[in-house]
Amino acid sequence: MDNEYADVNDIPGNIVIQPYMFEPPQRPNNQESSEESDNGDDDQRDRRINTFWCECGACQSMRTLAEECVCCVETQAVNFTRESSDLECITHHQTFIDNCLNVRVLEVSLHDYIQRDGPLNDNEPIHEVYRHIAYRRFVLWIWHKLGKGNRKVLPACVVSRIRQSFHLRLTLDFSTLALILKVVVQIWFGGW
């Protein structure tokens, strides 16, 4: 019968075990890489302050996150559509204008949105609803259907153009105007 431990004699008796001997070797410390990462942090902070990163000429700095300060030229899918039409900015594309800035198109999309996600809050301002629908239509146009939980950063030029088109407009009906006038008169004439 063969001994199952017969190969134990083949193991050398003086094995030197060193700590970390099976770990990958450390990369040499490269000063340039640490300087580049510092510059990257500065670049991210600077993106919120100015628009040096904009290549299309239509971007505005986003005050929220530096990651949102992206030009349409920097986003691959958007840039492909922009270049195929030979435009400086994606916001000049006729499909963007027709589908994301046209109130009638957004109203049709709003009906679809309400059917799928339920009714809107009564206090929700209509300009914010139009913005939301316009952002969704832009994503659908460029990336098609993403699916639940998948997000894309929209170029700053797109966000600022949609915000410019659907900003808060103060509209006063006659009853609201009469109430404001009554309050002003009471303050002005001391309870009149």
Predicted confidence at residue 137, as pLDDT, reads: 94
Predicted confidence at residue 37, as pLDDT, reads: 44
Predicted confidence at residue 176, as pLDDT, reads: 63
Q: Domain boundaries in the chain? A: 65-165
Predicted TM-score (pTM) of the model is 0.64
**How crowded is the C-beta side of 112, counted as CA atoms within 13 Å?**
8
- CA distances 134 to 3, 11, 37, 80, 112, Å, are 78, 72, 36, 20, 13
Predicted confidence at residue 170, as pLDDT, reads: 53
Cα–Cα distance for residue pair 188/181, rounded to 1 Å: 10
Predicted confidence at residue 36, as pLDDT, reads: 43
Predicted confidence at residue 12, as pLDDT, reads: 62
Cα–Cα distance for residue pair 112/125, rounded to 1 Å: 18
Tokens of 89: 């900015």
The answer to whether 128 touches 110, Cβ cutoff 8 Å, is no
Cα–Cα distance for residue pair 163/127, rounded to 1 Å: 9
- From first to last of its 192 residues, the chain has per-residue pLDDT tens of 566 766 666 666 666 666 666 666 666 655 444 444 445 555 566 777 777 888 998 988 777 777 778 899 998 999 999 999 999 999 999 999 999 999 999 989 988 888 887 777 777 788 888 999 999 999 999 998 888 888 888 999 999 999 999 887 655 556 666 666 776 666 667 654
Cα–Cα distance for residue pair 134/35, rounded to 1 Å: 40
Cα–Cα distance for residue pair 130/109, rounded to 1 Å: 9
Cα–Cα distance for residue pair 30/100, rounded to 1 Å: 47
